[in-house]
Structure 1
Amino acid sequence: GAGRTAPTGPWARVDGWRLGGAAPSVFDLEAGADVERVPVWASPLRVAVGDADVTADAAADSTVASVAVEAGRATVSIGGVARSFPFAVGTDGVWLSDGGEAVHVRERRESYGAVAASDASPTLVSPLPGTVVMVSVADGDRVDAGDAVAVVEAMKMEHVLRATVAGTVWLGVAVGDQVTRSGIVATIEATEAVDSDDA
């Protein structure tokens, strides 16, 4: 509603920080035709693998891998067993080497990046029932496709909802609000092409 302002300081962070411990950030990663949803904890760097129970204590979960990165190598430790992989960061993802084969891994962004503007929905909805833990914009702000708009925590994972089209954002929620699956979080009034001579 009126009078809402965008958060500042630590409240503007989108890295999973919260009282009582950090929730993981969730990324859809693709390597070739394979796509995997991967929860990631930032400090210390850990990732969930396979069917990890991210609702459990991440430190105690045997399917949560710790990752150490140093000098072009990533060392992944799961249940006391460590493997090291050479890697290189490219402009569109990361190249990992395993057994002489190189694998390109990148974040999947087709929900807004590769979708034609005419096919992109201007309505952002929650993927699961949850709680709005962060709002990155204020009513009436201009956003570009791919900009973070809000973060919904569901099942102890944080889901970043990003603008699918460029335009003016109108919020349907505030921090702390409960949302249902497919509940409207924000609507984006798509930007129309304008003449540069208009005032």
Structure 2
Amino acid sequence: MTDATLPTGNVRPLRPAKAVPVCHLCPADDPSPSDPTFTVTLRPGFGPARRVRLCEHCHRGRPGRQHDELGPIDIAWRALDHDASRLLTAYEQGLWVPSGGEVEFAAGLARMAWTEESMRTAVRDACNLVYAGRLLRALDNNAIIVLRHVPADDPALHALRRLVHVVATGGEAPWGHPSGAA
């Protein structure tokens, strides 16, 4: 490969850069450095099984933490955890203000006992205003999938529970609830 800034004929060798290993579960737009002590087996739909690394947050927070294999539940959890954390950050920074319907929806989630069926019912019964907002999109089906495999007080649901609590109470945002809500 010839470099246009160097005289013709000068060739600069291409050396692969040493990349820092990143967590296999963390999203590509926000990778976390992995810890070599936290490795699990990934069994893809096709191809051989392989060992992958996780960051400490994913290792300790994933629902399948008691198993040595990554499963679909872990991937659903990471998407839910990432979306809930980003939405909470946007709320705390004033970049997202939930609609009145979203505040009511969050208050309903905060009051109910969390099970797979209760979450499915709450999402199904949400009004159109809530469907248009970001809160329900952050839940997606991932909350239902995670609740199918873990109890409601599992640490895997911490980010979602915190988001629901903060939105429902209007706390941790300097302006409180949006006008007319709560």
Please give the range of the TM-score, normalised by the shorter of the 2 chains.
under 0.3
Structure with greater contact order relative to length (CA < 8 Å, sep ≥ 6): 2
TM-score normalised by the chain length of structure 2: 0.27
Greater percentage in helix: 2
Structure of larger gyration radius = 2
